[in-house]
Amino acid sequence: MQIAIVGAPMDLGAGRRGVDMGPSAIRCAGLGMQLQMLGHTVTDYGNIGSSEPETIAAGDPTLKYLDPIEAAAIELAQRTAAIPPEAITVVLGGDHSISLGSVTGAVEKHGQMGCLWVDAHGDFNTDATSPSGNIHGMVLAALAGLGHPRLTGIGGFAPKLLPEHIVILGARSLDQGERDLLHQYGVHVFTMHDIDRHGLPAVAEEALALATAGDVPLHVSFDIDVVDPRDAPGVGTPVPGGMTFRDAHLVMELIAETGALRTLDLVEVNPILDHANQTGELATDLICSAFGKRIY
Protein backbone atom coordinates (compact mmCIF):
# COMPACT_ATOMS: atom_id res chain seq x y z
CA MET A 1 0.00 0.00 0.00
CA GLN A 2 0.91 3.66 -0.30
CA ILE A 3 0.65 5.38 3.08
CA ALA A 4 0.76 9.13 3.72
CA ILE A 5 1.52 10.43 7.22
CA VAL A 6 0.53 13.90 8.42
CA GLY A 7 1.16 15.28 11.89
CA ALA A 8 -1.36 17.55 13.61
CA PRO A 9 0.23 18.76 16.87
CA MET A 10 -2.97 20.36 18.16
CA ASP A 11 -3.14 21.13 21.88
CA LEU A 12 -6.07 23.54 22.07
CA GLY A 13 -9.13 21.29 21.95
CA ALA A 14 -8.44 19.41 25.18
CA GLY A 15 -8.22 20.41 28.81
CA ARG A 16 -4.66 19.21 29.57
CA ARG A 17 -1.40 20.18 27.86
CA GLY A 18 0.95 17.74 26.16
CA VAL A 19 -0.85 16.15 23.22
CA ASP A 20 0.92 18.48 20.81
CA MET A 21 3.92 16.19 21.30
CA GLY A 22 1.91 13.13 20.28
CA PRO A 23 3.01 13.10 16.61
CA SER A 24 6.67 13.20 17.68
CA ALA A 25 6.16 10.39 20.19
CA ILE A 26 4.59 8.16 17.56
CA ARG A 27 7.22 8.96 14.95
CA CYS A 28 10.01 8.38 17.50
CA ALA A 29 8.54 4.94 18.17
CA GLY A 30 9.45 4.09 14.57
CA LEU A 31 6.12 4.30 12.76
CA GLY A 32 7.49 4.99 9.30
CA MET A 33 10.16 2.32 9.49
CA GLN A 34 7.76 -0.32 10.84
CA LEU A 35 5.24 0.36 8.06
CA GLN A 36 8.02 0.07 5.49
CA MET A 37 9.08 -3.25 7.02
CA LEU A 38 5.53 -4.48 6.33
CA GLY A 39 6.18 -3.76 2.65
CA HIS A 40 4.36 -0.44 2.34
CA THR A 41 5.54 2.74 0.66
CA VAL A 42 5.48 5.58 3.20
CA THR A 43 5.59 9.34 2.61
CA ASP A 44 5.68 11.67 5.62
CA TYR A 45 4.23 15.08 4.77
CA GLY A 46 5.31 16.67 8.06
CA ASN A 47 3.11 18.66 10.41
CA ILE A 48 0.46 21.31 9.96
CA GLY A 49 0.94 24.56 11.88
CA SER A 50 -0.35 24.97 15.43
CA SER A 51 -0.64 27.55 18.17
CA GLU A 52 0.20 27.19 21.84
CA PRO A 53 -2.39 27.98 24.56
CA GLU A 54 0.11 30.12 26.46
CA THR A 55 0.34 32.59 23.57
CA ILE A 56 -3.35 33.17 22.82
CA ALA A 57 -6.62 33.76 24.65
CA ALA A 58 -9.16 30.98 24.99
CA GLY A 59 -12.03 33.25 23.98
CA ASP A 60 -15.61 32.08 24.41
CA PRO A 61 -15.65 29.64 27.37
CA THR A 62 -18.24 27.49 25.60
CA LEU A 63 -15.99 27.19 22.50
CA LYS A 64 -12.43 27.48 23.74
CA TYR A 65 -9.79 28.43 21.15
CA LEU A 66 -12.32 28.36 18.31
CA ASP A 67 -10.31 30.62 15.99
CA PRO A 68 -7.03 28.65 15.93
CA ILE A 69 -8.82 25.29 15.93
CA GLU A 70 -10.88 26.35 12.93
CA ALA A 71 -7.75 27.56 11.13
CA ALA A 72 -5.90 24.31 11.84
CA ALA A 73 -8.87 22.24 10.66
CA ILE A 74 -9.00 24.15 7.39
CA GLU A 75 -5.25 23.64 6.84
CA LEU A 76 -5.46 19.93 7.66
CA ALA A 77 -8.48 19.47 5.38
CA GLN A 78 -6.59 21.06 2.52
CA ARG A 79 -3.46 19.00 3.22
CA THR A 80 -5.44 15.76 3.46
CA ALA A 81 -7.49 16.43 0.32
CA ALA A 82 -4.30 17.11 -1.68
CA ILE A 83 -2.75 13.72 -0.90
CA PRO A 84 -3.14 11.34 -3.88
CA PRO A 85 -6.36 9.32 -3.48
CA GLU A 86 -4.57 6.00 -3.88
CA ALA A 87 -2.62 6.66 -0.66
CA ILE A 88 -4.18 5.80 2.70
CA THR A 89 -3.75 8.81 4.96
CA VAL A 90 -2.69 8.49 8.61
CA VAL A 91 -3.10 11.63 10.72
CA LEU A 92 -1.21 11.76 14.02
CA GLY A 93 -2.68 13.89 16.81
CA GLY A 94 -2.83 16.01 18.71
CA ASP A 95 -6.18 16.18 20.42
CA HIS A 96 -9.36 14.87 18.79
CA SER A 97 -10.36 18.26 17.37
CA ILE A 98 -8.01 17.45 14.47
CA SER A 99 -10.66 15.13 13.04
CA LEU A 100 -12.60 18.20 11.94
CA GLY A 101 -9.90 18.66 9.33
CA SER A 102 -8.95 15.09 8.50
CA VAL A 103 -12.53 13.94 7.92
CA THR A 104 -13.38 17.04 5.89
CA GLY A 105 -10.41 16.45 3.60
CA ALA A 106 -11.16 12.74 3.31
CA VAL A 107 -14.80 13.31 2.35
CA GLU A 108 -13.82 15.97 -0.19
CA LYS A 109 -11.53 13.38 -1.80
CA HIS A 110 -13.48 10.13 -1.45
CA GLY A 111 -17.11 11.23 -1.21
CA GLN A 112 -19.54 9.75 1.29
CA MET A 113 -17.73 7.76 3.98
CA GLY A 114 -18.48 5.56 6.93
CA CYS A 115 -16.81 6.38 10.24
CA LEU A 116 -15.69 4.09 13.06
CA TRP A 117 -15.05 6.26 16.12
CA VAL A 118 -13.04 4.17 18.59
CA ASP A 119 -13.10 6.19 21.78
CA ALA A 120 -13.90 6.10 25.48
CA HIS A 121 -15.96 9.24 24.89
CA GLY A 122 -18.73 10.12 22.47
CA ASP A 123 -17.38 13.54 21.38
CA PHE A 124 -20.99 14.35 20.48
CA ASN A 125 -21.45 17.47 22.57
CA THR A 126 -22.17 20.91 21.15
CA ASP A 127 -21.41 24.31 22.64
CA ALA A 128 -24.90 24.13 24.18
CA THR A 129 -24.32 20.79 25.95
CA SER A 130 -20.59 20.64 26.68
CA PRO A 131 -19.76 20.93 30.39
CA SER A 132 -16.18 22.04 29.61
CA GLY A 133 -16.23 24.05 26.37
CA ASN A 134 -13.38 21.89 25.06
CA ILE A 135 -13.85 21.40 21.32
CA HIS A 136 -12.33 17.91 21.23
CA GLY A 137 -15.58 16.78 22.85
CA MET A 138 -17.71 18.39 20.09
CA VAL A 139 -15.96 17.17 16.97
CA LEU A 140 -18.09 14.17 16.03
CA ALA A 141 -21.31 16.14 16.48
CA ALA A 142 -19.87 18.89 14.27
CA LEU A 143 -18.96 16.36 11.58
CA ALA A 144 -22.59 15.19 11.70
CA GLY A 145 -23.75 18.77 11.18
CA LEU A 146 -24.60 19.67 14.79
CA GLY A 147 -23.25 22.60 16.74
CA HIS A 148 -21.67 25.95 16.02
CA PRO A 149 -21.69 26.87 12.30
CA ARG A 150 -17.96 27.62 12.29
CA LEU A 151 -17.32 24.01 13.27
CA THR A 152 -19.96 22.39 11.09
CA GLY A 153 -19.13 24.59 8.10
CA ILE A 154 -15.42 23.82 7.75
CA GLY A 155 -14.74 23.03 4.11
CA GLY A 156 -17.92 24.81 3.02
CA PHE A 157 -20.29 21.87 3.37
CA ALA A 158 -22.22 20.01 6.07
CA PRO A 159 -22.72 17.41 7.24
CA LYS A 160 -19.49 15.57 6.54
CA LEU A 161 -20.84 12.31 7.94
CA LEU A 162 -24.39 10.96 7.99
CA PRO A 163 -25.41 9.79 11.49
CA GLU A 164 -26.42 6.37 10.17
CA HIS A 165 -22.84 5.91 8.89
CA ILE A 166 -21.26 6.78 12.27
CA VAL A 167 -20.41 4.00 14.72
CA ILE A 168 -18.86 4.65 18.14
CA LEU A 169 -16.99 1.69 19.60
CA GLY A 170 -15.70 1.35 23.17
CA ALA A 171 -17.55 4.24 24.83
CA ARG A 172 -17.56 4.28 28.62
CA SER A 173 -17.97 7.95 29.51
CA LEU A 174 -20.87 9.91 27.98
CA ASP A 175 -22.30 13.24 29.14
CA GLN A 176 -26.07 13.41 29.44
CA GLY A 177 -26.41 16.04 26.71
CA GLU A 178 -24.44 14.06 24.16
CA ARG A 179 -26.22 10.85 25.17
CA ASP A 180 -29.51 12.54 24.31
CA LEU A 181 -28.17 13.75 20.95
CA LEU A 182 -26.77 10.34 20.06
CA HIS A 183 -30.20 8.78 20.66
CA GLN A 184 -32.00 11.58 18.82
CA TYR A 185 -29.87 11.28 15.68
CA GLY A 186 -29.62 7.50 15.60
CA VAL A 187 -25.85 7.14 15.87
CA HIS A 188 -24.76 3.55 16.47
CA VAL A 189 -23.06 3.28 19.87
CA PHE A 190 -21.34 0.17 21.24
CA THR A 191 -20.24 0.69 24.82
CA MET A 192 -17.87 -1.33 26.98
CA HIS A 193 -21.00 -2.92 28.44
CA ASP A 194 -21.82 -4.30 25.00
CA ILE A 195 -18.25 -5.56 24.62
CA ASP A 196 -18.27 -7.19 28.06
CA ARG A 197 -21.64 -8.81 27.43
CA HIS A 198 -21.24 -10.02 23.84
CA GLY A 199 -17.48 -10.18 23.34
CA LEU A 200 -15.23 -7.84 21.41
CA PRO A 201 -14.96 -9.86 18.15
CA ALA A 202 -18.73 -9.98 17.61
CA VAL A 203 -19.26 -6.34 18.57
CA ALA A 204 -16.35 -5.03 16.49
CA GLU A 205 -17.44 -7.02 13.44
CA GLU A 206 -20.98 -5.65 13.76
CA ALA A 207 -19.64 -2.11 14.18
CA LEU A 208 -17.51 -2.41 11.06
CA ALA A 209 -20.40 -3.87 9.07
CA LEU A 210 -22.56 -0.88 10.00
CA ALA A 211 -19.82 1.65 9.27
CA THR A 212 -19.12 0.19 5.81
CA ALA A 213 -22.73 -0.59 4.85
CA GLY A 214 -23.28 0.14 1.17
CA ASP A 215 -19.56 -0.42 0.49
CA VAL A 216 -18.62 3.12 1.47
CA PRO A 217 -14.93 3.80 2.16
CA LEU A 218 -13.96 3.86 5.83
CA HIS A 219 -12.54 6.55 8.06
CA VAL A 220 -11.30 5.34 11.44
CA SER A 221 -10.72 7.77 14.28
CA PHE A 222 -8.89 6.00 17.10
CA ASP A 223 -8.55 7.83 20.41
CA ILE A 224 -5.89 6.05 22.44
CA ASP A 225 -7.89 6.66 25.64
CA VAL A 226 -10.23 3.85 24.55
CA VAL A 227 -7.47 1.57 25.86
CA ASP A 228 -7.38 0.98 29.61
CA PRO A 229 -4.98 3.37 31.41
CA ARG A 230 -2.90 0.40 32.59
CA ASP A 231 -1.87 -0.18 28.97
CA ALA A 232 -2.10 3.44 27.76
CA PRO A 233 -1.16 5.76 30.66
CA GLY A 234 -0.20 8.71 28.44
CA VAL A 235 -3.65 10.22 27.85
CA GLY A 236 -5.29 13.41 29.11
CA THR A 237 -8.72 11.98 29.93
CA PRO A 238 -8.14 8.44 31.28
CA VAL A 239 -11.18 6.33 32.16
CA PRO A 240 -10.75 2.96 33.93
CA GLY A 241 -12.27 -0.15 32.43
CA GLY A 242 -11.19 0.22 28.82
CA MET A 243 -10.04 -2.12 26.11
CA THR A 244 -6.99 -4.25 26.78
CA PHE A 245 -3.83 -4.16 24.71
CA ARG A 246 -5.00 -7.22 22.78
CA ASP A 247 -8.57 -5.90 22.38
CA ALA A 248 -7.25 -2.77 20.68
CA HIS A 249 -5.02 -4.78 18.37
CA LEU A 250 -7.90 -7.05 17.40
CA VAL A 251 -10.01 -4.03 16.44
CA MET A 252 -7.22 -2.80 14.18
CA GLU A 253 -6.69 -6.25 12.69
CA LEU A 254 -10.39 -6.49 11.87
CA ILE A 255 -10.23 -3.04 10.27
CA ALA A 256 -7.38 -4.24 8.07
CA GLU A 257 -9.41 -7.27 6.99
CA THR A 258 -12.23 -5.09 5.63
CA GLY A 259 -9.99 -3.57 2.98
CA ALA A 260 -12.15 -0.44 3.25
CA LEU A 261 -9.78 1.82 5.22
CA ARG A 262 -8.95 5.10 3.46
CA THR A 263 -8.04 7.42 6.36
CA LEU A 264 -7.00 6.86 9.96
CA ASP A 265 -6.61 9.30 12.85
CA LEU A 266 -4.63 8.25 15.92
CA VAL A 267 -5.13 10.90 18.58
CA GLU A 268 -4.67 12.00 22.20
CA VAL A 269 -1.21 10.53 22.92
CA ASN A 270 0.16 12.73 25.73
CA PRO A 271 3.89 12.12 26.36
CA ILE A 272 3.90 14.36 29.45
CA LEU A 273 1.67 11.83 31.22
CA ASP A 274 3.29 8.74 29.70
CA HIS A 275 5.89 6.26 30.98
CA ALA A 276 8.96 5.90 28.71
CA ASN A 277 6.79 6.44 25.60
CA GLN A 278 4.68 3.37 26.39
CA THR A 279 1.59 4.95 24.86
CA GLY A 280 3.44 6.27 21.81
CA GLU A 281 4.81 2.79 21.14
CA LEU A 282 1.34 1.30 21.56
CA ALA A 283 -0.06 3.82 19.07
CA THR A 284 2.61 2.84 16.56
CA ASP A 285 1.90 -0.86 17.02
CA LEU A 286 -1.85 -0.29 16.62
CA ILE A 287 -1.39 1.64 13.38
CA CYS A 288 0.76 -1.20 12.07
CA SER A 289 -1.99 -3.69 12.95
CA ALA A 290 -4.41 -1.64 10.84
CA PHE A 291 -2.00 -2.10 7.92
CA GLY A 292 -1.60 -5.84 8.11
CA LYS A 293 0.82 -6.60 10.92
CA ARG A 294 0.03 -10.01 12.44
CA ILE A 295 1.45 -12.27 15.10
CA TYR A 296 1.88 -15.09 12.56
The CATH number of the domain holding residue 167 is: 3.40.800.10
Specify the pLDDT at position 229. Answer: 97
* Tally of domains in the chain: 1
> Does residue 24 fall inside a structural domain?
yes
So what's the pLDDT on residue 142? 98
Count of H-run helices and E-run strands, the chain = 11, 8
d(CA 192, CA 220): 18
Mind spelling out the 3-state secondary structure of 182-232? Answer: HHHHCCEEEEHHHHHHHCHHHHHHHHHHHHCCCCCCEEEEEEHHHECCCCC
Expressed as residue numbers, the domain containing 73 is: 2-290
pLDDT for res 16: 86
| pLDDT at res. 93 | 97
Residue 156 lies in a domain: yes
**What integer pLDDT is reported at residue 126 of this predicted model?**
98
Catalytic residues: 96, 119, 121, 123, 136, 223, 225, 268
**Position 251 in a domain:** yes
Could you tell me if residue 296 is inside a domain? no
**pTM of the entire predicted model:** 0.97
146 domain residue, yes or no: yes
Q: Is 17 within the bounds of a domain? A: yes
Q: Which residues of the chain have pLDDT under 70?
A: none
Q: What is the pLDDT of residue 249?
A: 97
